[in-house]
Amino acid sequence: MTSSLPPLNPLLQQCGKRTRDIFAAGLDESMKDEEKSARIRLSIKINDEYKEVKQLPPALLAQQGPVGPARPKEQRKVITAAPSSETSLMISQIDKTPVAQPSTFTSSSNLKTALQLHKTVRTIKPTYHPPWKLVRVISGHLGWVRSVAVEPGNKWFATGAGDRVIKIWDLASGELKLSLTGHISTVRGLAVSSRHPYLFSCGEDKMVKCWDLEANKVIRHYHGHLSGVYSLSLHPTLDILVTAGRDASARVWDMRTKAQIHVLAGHTGTVSDVKCQESDPQVITGSMDTTIRLWDLAAGKTMVTLTHHKKSVRSLAIHPTEYSFASGSAGGNNIKKWKCPEGAFVFNFSGHNAIINTLSVNSEGVLFSGGDNGTLTFWDYNTGTAFQNMDDIPQPGSLEAEAGVFCSTFDVTGTRLITGGADKTIKVYAEQAH
């Protein structure tokens, strides 16, 4: 016996109708609930995100005057015809707080003068500095010249190089007076004491040495660095020596007892330069971790960390009289001026686009920057204007790539500049006569 199946179409329609009845009824009721929860969610969000900025703080409100466009006071009608205006409609119902605020300027003339001030470009005229020229090239080292220091009497200067030798030269004639051997790796830092007949040196061999210049021999060693020592500085008034290097620390030593007074820890990369001055911050360090730290010498702690540089800070220069300093790094806007004691940023010296290995500043307000690619720039320290650009000329026979400037210093008078470079020479620059 064959039984015929009922036609499929009416069954489908019936099934669809039932499904619609079940779900459509539930959908309408749940939608009402959905709108309520959306409204709660919106009001919480508005409260969280905009509570602080709905009203100006009282201090600013007090400054405000009556001028400026105000909103109309009467209640605006909300336009509801837009197809997607549910959320905005909800917001307008929830949030009734925006009040018409008067303008910040107390009078229209104030506004005018402010706009005029904004438009005028203030240019400060830099001080005139005579141009500098190369006057002497001194050969004698067999490696890159990495450090230079002039003695306080301005009669001679010392250089340290990759050949592990410290050489002492006559400043007037450029003649070699003495070679000091003892380091077993590159000599990276030198300083001559103004209060004792001592020369201090440090190098990549982790050694810090004190040389007696009357006997021309090492009389003290300062042990403690765990890696190469890249820089050293003498305190101008205390018998203190500060060294810094690849172990990411700066160390403060008692010059006489050889005792380590402090380990200035905090940097996370090589400390490439350290400088001391008489008043706080008495110690300033620049590091490959891109930061500069100003230290409280008594406590042995960081006072301020300056994080403005984007790349490693390689050099620092303290102005002899102005209570400010400059720092140099790799990358754009790479030379910056800072004000002591708080380390406030003053401005950028922009234009020397190279890795800055060395900075020096004299009391006349000439800042010198030497680049890793052999470019030299002389700046007016007060305004940040570059008044002279030069290229280091490698000595004949050396590679063109050996045109890097590694170290520099002005002599005591500030009229001669001594630089050391990758072509193993020492170059002396002098101000041209007017």
What structural domains does the chain harbor?
134-429 (2.130.10.10)
CA distances from 273 to 191, 255, 315, 406 (A): 13, 19, 6, 12
The reported pLDDT for the residue numbered 108 is: 62
Q: In 3D, which of 231, 229, 193 has the Cα closest to residue 212?
A: 193
* DSSP conformational letter for 191: E
Q: Give the C-alpha separation, 295 to 304, whole Å.
A: 7
Summarised one tens digit per residue, pLDDT across range 109-161 is 777 776 676 666 556 788 899 999 999 999 999 999 999 999 999 999 999 99
β-partners of residue 157 are 150, 169
250-303 pLDDT per residue, tens:
999 999 999 999 999 999 999 999 999 999 899 999 999 999 999 999 999 999
> Is pLDDT above 60 for 28?
no
CA 205, CA 244: separation in Å to the nearest integer?
Answer: 13
Q: What is the pLDDT of residue 119?
A: 62
Using alpha carbons, list the distances in angstroms from residue 91 to 36, 37, 70, 97, 220.
13, 13, 22, 11, 77
Give how far Cα 57 sits from Cα of 66, 98, 184, Å: 17, 15, 65
- Concatenate the DSSP letters of all residues of 314-352 into one string: EEEEE-TTTSEEEEEESSSS-EEEEETTTTEEEEEE---
Lowest mean pLDDT among 45-54, 125-134, 203-212, 318-327: 45-54
* Complete DSSP assignment for 212-225: ETTTTEEEEE----
Name all contacts of 194-197 with Cβ < 8 Å and 24+ positions apart.
194/152, 194/234, 194/236, 195/239, 196/255
Query: Could you tell me what percent of the chain has a pLDDT over 70?
Result: 85
Cα–Cα distance for residue pair 328/395, rounded to 1 Å:
26
Between these two residues, 7 and 400, which has the higher pLDDT value? 7
pTM of the model: 0.72
Per-residue DSSP letter, 296: E
**Distance (Å, whole) CA 89 – CA 92:** 5
Residues 397, 400: Cα–Cα separation, whole Å: 9
Q: What is the pLDDT of residues 409-422, one digit of tens each?
A: 999 999 999 999 99
Residue 110 CA to residue 67 CA, distance in Å, equals 10
Produce one character per residue of 127-154: b if its CB has 16 or more CB atoms within 10 Å, e if not. eebbebeeeeebebbeebbbbbbbbeee
pLDDT grade, residue 341 (50/70/90)?
very high
Q: Do the beta carbons of residue 390 and residue 376 sit within 8 Å?
A: yes
Which residue reads 């400026």 in tokens? 68
Q: For residue 198, what pLDDT is reported?
A: 97
Contact (Cβ atoms closer than 8 angstroms) between residue 245 and residue 270: yes
Using the predicted structure, report yes or no on whether residue 68 has a pLDDT greater than 70: no
Q: What is the pLDDT of residues 177-223, one digit of tens each?
A: 999 999 999 999 999 999 999 999 999 999 999 999 999 999 999 99
Residue 106 has a pLDDT of: 56
What's the whole-number mean pLDDT along residues 386-401?
Answer: 87
Looking at residue 166, its pLDDT comes to 98
Backbone angles phi, psi at 116, to 5 degrees: -65, -45
Task: Let me know: does 373 contact 404? Beta carbons within 8 Å.
Answer: yes
Q: What's the N-to-C CA distance of the chain in angstroms? A: 128
